[in-house]
Structure 1
Amino acid sequence: MKRKIKLFTVLTLLVSVISFAQLKEYDYKRSLDAVKEDWHTVTVPDDVFSKVSPSLNDMRIYGISTALDTIEVPYILKINKEKTISQKHPFEIINTSKTDKGYYFTFKLDAPTSINNIQLSFKDTNFDWKVDLEGSQHLKQWFTILEDYRILDIHNTTSVYSFTELVLPESSYRYFRVLVRSDQQPVLESALISMDKLIDGEVVKHRVKTMKLKEDKSSKSSVFEFELENKVPVSRIKVLVDANYDYFRTINISYLSDSIHTEKGWKYNYRNIRTETLNSLESNEFKIEKTIAQKFRISVLNDDNQALDITSVAVEGYKHELIARFTQPADYVLAYGNASAYRPNYDIQKFKNTIPAQLTSLGLGKEVAIDKIKPTQVSPLFENEWWLWVVMGIVITLLAGFTFKMLSNTNNKIEK
C-alpha cells in the first residue's frame, strides 16, 4: 500500500513538472471557467495585448485532466471585422445634355434594381461642383434622390484628393440621371453603379485617457497627441473637429513605436501608419491597418490656414476572440507572453466549416504571473576574501618551511 502511495506521489510530481515546463515558457496565465461543451469562445481582454507579441503568436490554452494528462487546446484566432458585399449592376450611358441648370448624364440599367452607390470618375481636375441625382422608371417623370450634393477634386503640389462618390438611400429605378452644376462641360470617363451591403463586425470602443493639441507656427502645422488606457489593437480613428467653415488638410497618423532614454531625456520614435485628408465633406473616420499601440499622434499640415480645433477622437478596434475545441474535462488556463513563441498550427484551421454557429463564451480569471525556475547558482568556495588570504598565508608558510628544511639538509650533506 505504501509503495502505491509513493508511486502515485511520484507520478503526480512528474505530471506537475511536465505541465510547469510548458507553462514556464510564458509570463502570465488566467484560469478559464469550467468547460461544458466541445466548442467555446474566449475573448482576449484589452490588458493582454501589451504583454503579447505584435503577431499574437504567443497565446496558448493548456489544461490538466483528471487523468493527470497535459492538454494543449487547439484554437482559431478570430478578428471580428465588418464586411462589405458590393453587387455591381451593368448599365449604359444613353444621354448627355445641357440646360441652363448644368450638364446631365443619364444611365440606363439592364433592369429596375435597387442601388445605393454611384462612383463617378471625371477627367477633369481641381473642381468643386454641386450635383443632383434623380430616378425614373420610364423617362417621363423624374424623382429627386439627392440635391445639392457636393463633389470635389484637388490636385496640387502638396495634396491629391478626390471625392466623387454618390452615397444615396436605397433606390430602385430603371433610369438614373446626374445633373452637374458646372460652367464648363465635365468629361465623365467612367462610372460604377452598385448595391453595397455592410455586414457589421464586433467593434470594441477604446477609452482615450489623455489628449493634447499644440500648434507649431514655424512649420505651419499642428500636432494632436492622445493616449489610450491600454495598448490595444486599433483599426479605426474618427477625428472630431470644431469648425463651421470648409477645410481641407493633409494629415499623418502615427503611433509610438519605441522610446530611448538619453542624457537629454526621453526620445520618442513615432512610426507613420498612413497619410489621409481631414476635410469638411466627409466624416473624418479613417480605417487603418490593425496597429497594437497605446500612444498616437496626428500631424496636421495647415499651410497658411487657421489651425483647426481638434476637440476629440473616437478610437475603435475589432473584437479578438479564440475559438477553441475542448475534448475532455480539465482545469484550463490561458497562457501568454513569450516573444520567441511560434504561430501554432492546428488541424481545426482546415475544418472551419465544422465549427457550430452558436458558441458560448468562457470567462477568464485574474492575471497571474508565472513563476520561473531560476537556475541554481553554485556558491564560490570562498565567499569572504579573508579566508582566501588565510589559506594563502598557510600555503606560503608551508612552502617556506619545506624550503628551509631542504636547505638545511643540503648544508648538512656539504659539511659531511
Structure 2
Amino acid sequence: MKRYLSFCLLFFCVLGFAQMHTYDYKQEIKGAKAGEWKRFSLPESVYAKLKSEGNDLRIYGITTEKDTIEVPYILDKNHSKTELLPIPFQVINQSRTSEGTFLTLKNPKKEIIDQIELTFENQNFDRKITLEGSNDQNQWFTLLKDYRVVAIKNESVSFVYNTLKFNESEYLYYRIFIPDPSHEIQFVSATVNHRQKTSILIYEYESQFAVNEDKKHKETWVRVQLNTLLPISTLRVLPQQTHDYFRPIRIGYEDSIQTRKGWQKRFVTIASDVLTSQNKNIYDLSMQMLDNLVIRIDNQDNEPLQIKAVEVYGTHYQVTARFPEKQADYFLVYGKTNDYQPDYDISRFMQNIPADIASVTLGGIERLRQSKDENTVLATNNKNWLWGIVIFIVVFLFYFSFKMLREKK
C-alpha cells in the first residue's frame, strides 16, 4: 500500500513539474534580491518568441528546497508616451482685409506650445499660412511661412491636414494670416497644444527599405523590412528632394490572410499624414509589434520623390517585479500559445510602486521545449507510448483495488 501511495505521489509531482515547463524559453534574472523591487527591459531577441500577445510572460523562482514561486510583475508595453496637452488660449482679434484673414491669439500664462490646430467650416480648401509670435504686438517674429493646410472631400477622398507644427515657443501673442482675397474660408476655432514626451530610452532599429512606383495609381510604395519582430513607435522618412513638396501618405504594414484562392497579401493602415518639406517628417505611431512597415505616398500629378533614408525607432517593453522574501534563483519564461494574462495584486496599486527602482540583467536564452514542428513529430511518435502509460496506470489501480478486496474477504 505504501508503495502504491508513493507511486501516485511521484506521478502527480512529475505532472506538476511538467506544467511549470510548458513554456518554450527561459532566461536567468541576474541581480534579483529577496524582498526588493527590480526592473528590466526585454531585449530585441525576445519579441519574436512571445506568444499570446505577450500574455505568456512569467517570472518563476526556484528555492533551495526546490519549491517554485511565481513572482508578480507589471508589463509596460508603452512607457514612451506622447501626450497632447491642451493650452488655454483666447482669440482676441479676427479681421479681414483684401488679402485675407488675420487671427490673433493670446497665451495668458505664456506657456510653451508647438502646435495649433485650425478648424474651418469648409470641406475643401488649400491655403499657405503664415504664423508669427510676439510679446507686445509691435514686433512680430515669423515662426512659419507659406505653411500649407489642405482639406479634400469628395466621393473617393476624405483628407484633412490643418495642424500647424513648429518648434517650441512661449510668446504672449500669436498671429495667423490666411490668404483669402475672396473671403471663402470660414474660420471656426483654434486648438493650441504642446506635445509632451516622457524621457525614456529610444532605440533605432536596423532596417532595409525598397521603393516601388505604382504608375497606374500615381503612388510610391516604400517597403521597410526589420530583422525581427519589434515594438515600433516612431518612423522618420527622409526624401532627397530640396524643393518644396506636400504629399498625403498612409503608413501601415503588410500581412497575409487566407481566402478561397489561398493566402493573399494585404495592406493594413496604421496612420494617415503628410510627407512635406515643411516638417521633419517624423511620425508617432501607437506602439505596434511589427517586422515590416509600408509607406504609401500619393504623388497626385507630381513626379515621385526620391527617398534617401527611412529610420525606425521604438521602445522596449519594461518589466517591473516585486520579488518575495525567500532566496531563490529567478527566471523569466515565455513562449506559450493561448496563455492567459496574469492577474496580480500589484496591478491595482500602481501608485505604491517605488519611483527609484534598480535594474537587473537577463542571462542568455535557454530552450525549455522543442519547437512546434519538433513537438508535432514527438507527439505523433509517442502517441502509442502515452496510451501505454494510461493503460498501465489503469491496470495498476485495478490490480491493487482487486487485491485489497480479496484481503478483506
TM interval, shorter chain, is: 0.7 to 0.9
Q: Which whole-Å deviations, capped at 9, do the CAs of 1:171-218 have from their partners, x for residues lacking one?
A: 242x4433334433343211223555433343222110x321122324
- Residues matched between the structures, number: 364
Kindly state the Cα deviation for residue 314 of structure 1 after the two structures are TM-superposed: 0.9
Q: Work out the CA distance in 1 between the residues paired with 2:264 and 2:291.
A: 16
Kindly state the Cα deviation for residue 238 of structure 1 after the two structures are TM-superposed: 1.6
- Give the direction of change, closer, same or farther, for the CA distance of 1:106–1:35 in structure 2 (3 Å limit): closer
Matched, 1:341 2:360: no
Counterpart code for 1:119: E
Q: Which whole-Å deviations, capped at 9, do the CAs of 1:294-330 have from their partners, x for residues lacking one?
A: 1332233334431221222111122211101101221
Q: Which whole-Å deviations, capped at 9, do the CAs of 1:107-128 have from their partners, x for residues lacking one?
A: 345x452342433223344222
Matched, 1:363 2:361: yes
Would the aligned equivalents of 1:54 and 1:292 in 2 still touch at CA under 8 Å? no
Would the aligned equivalents of 1:115 and 1:196 in 2 still touch at CA under 8 Å? no
Kindly state the Cα deviation for residue 102 of structure 1 after the two structures are TM-superposed: 4.9
Would the aligned equivalents of 2:165 and 2:279 in 1 still touch at CA under 8 Å? no
Would the aligned equivalents of 2:127 and 2:179 in 1 still touch at CA under 8 Å? no
Aligned residue number for residue 202 of structure 2: 203
- Give the direction of change, closer, same or farther, for the CA distance of 1:229–1:16 in structure 2 (3 Å limit): farther
Select the structure of larger CA radius of gyration: 1
Q: Which whole-Å deviations, capped at 9, do the CAs of 1:229-249 have from their partners, x for residues lacking one?
A: 111121222222111233333
Q: Which whole-Å deviations, capped at 9, do the CAs of 1:382-405 have from their partners, x for residues lacking one?
A: xxxxxxxxxxxxxxxxxxxxxxxx
Percentage of pairs with the same residue: 27
Counterpart code for 2:141: T
- Give the direction of change, closer, same or farther, for the CA distance of 1:345–1:297 in structure 2 (3 Å limit): same
Would the aligned equivalents of 2:209 and 2:225 in 1 still touch at CA under 8 Å? yes
Would the aligned equivalents of 1:58 and 1:343 in 2 still touch at CA under 8 Å? yes
Would the aligned equivalents of 1:256 and 1:293 in 2 still touch at CA under 8 Å? no
Q: Work out the CA distance in 1 between the residues paired with 2:212 and 2:12.
A: 59
Aligned residue number for residue 46 of structure 1: 44
Aligned residue number for residue 58 of structure 1: 56
Would the aligned equivalents of 1:215 and 1:223 in 2 still touch at CA under 8 Å? yes
Aligned residue number for residue 106 of structure 1: 104
Kindly state the Cα deviation for residue 363 of structure 1 after the two structures are TM-superposed: 1.2
Matched, 1:32 2:29: yes
Would the aligned equivalents of 2:239 and 2:306 in 1 still touch at CA under 8 Å? yes
Kindly state the Cα deviation for residue 64 of structure 1 after the two structures are TM-superposed: 0.6
Find the residue that maps to 1:50 and give its secondary structure.
helix
Find the residue that maps to 1:130 and give its secondary structure.
strand
Which consecutive unaligned segments of at least 5 residues does structure 2 have? Answer: 1-6, 386-409
Comparing 72-81 with 30-39, greater Cα deviation is found at 30-39
Aligned residue number for residue 161 of structure 2: 162
Query: Which of 99, 120, 123 is equivalent to 2:121?
Result: 123
Aligned residue number for residue 397 of structure 1: none
- Give the direction of change, closer, same or farther, for the CA distance of 1:148–1:300 in structure 2 (3 Å limit): closer
Find the residue that maps to 1:349 and give its secondary structure.
helix
Kindly state the Cα deviation for residue 350 of structure 1 after the two structures are TM-superposed: 0.8
Kindly state the Cα deviation for residue 91 of structure 1 after the two structures are TM-superposed: 1.7
RMSD: 3.4
Correspondences of 1:213-292 after superposition (within 5 Å): 213-258=211-256, 268-292=265-289
Comparing 44-53 with 156-165, greater Cα deviation is found at 156-165
Aligned residue number for residue 75 of structure 1: 73
Runs of 4+ in 1 over 6 A off after TM superposition: 13-16
Find the residue that maps to 1:246 and give its secondary structure.
coil
Counterpart code for 2:306: D
TM-score by length of 2: 0.77
Q: Work out the CA distance in 2 between the residues paired with 1:147 and 1:288.
A: 25
Q: Work out the CA distance in 2 between the residues paired with 1:103 and 1:351.
A: 52
Aligned residue number for residue 408 of structure 1: none
Would the aligned equivalents of 2:130 and 2:144 in 1 still touch at CA under 8 Å? yes
Correspondences of 1:79-98 after superposition (within 5 Å): 79=77, 80-84=79-83, 86-98=85-97
Comparing 282-291 with 267-276, greater Cα deviation is found at 267-276
- Give the direction of change, closer, same or farther, for the CA distance of 1:357–1:115 in structure 2 (3 Å limit): closer
Q: Work out the CA distance in 2 between the residues paired with 1:102 and 1:133.
A: 15
Q: Which whole-Å deviations, capped at 9, do the CAs of 1:277-310 have from their partners, x for residues lacking one?
A: 3333333222333322213322333344312212
Q: Which whole-Å deviations, capped at 9, do the CAs of 1:356-390 have from their partners, x for residues lacking one?
A: 111122211111111469665547xxxxxxxxxxx
Q: Work out the CA distance in 2 between the residues paired with 1:218 and 1:108.
A: 48
Counterpart code for 2:275: L
- Give the direction of change, closer, same or farther, for the CA distance of 1:200–1:184 in structure 2 (3 Å limit): farther
Q: Work out the CA distance in 2 between the residues paired with 1:18 and 1:235.
A: 42
Find the residue that maps to 2:32 and give its secondary structure.
coil
Matched, 1:296 2:293: yes
Comparing 49-58 with 285-294, greater Cα deviation is found at 285-294
Q: Work out the CA distance in 2 between the residues paired with 1:290 and 1:197.
A: 17
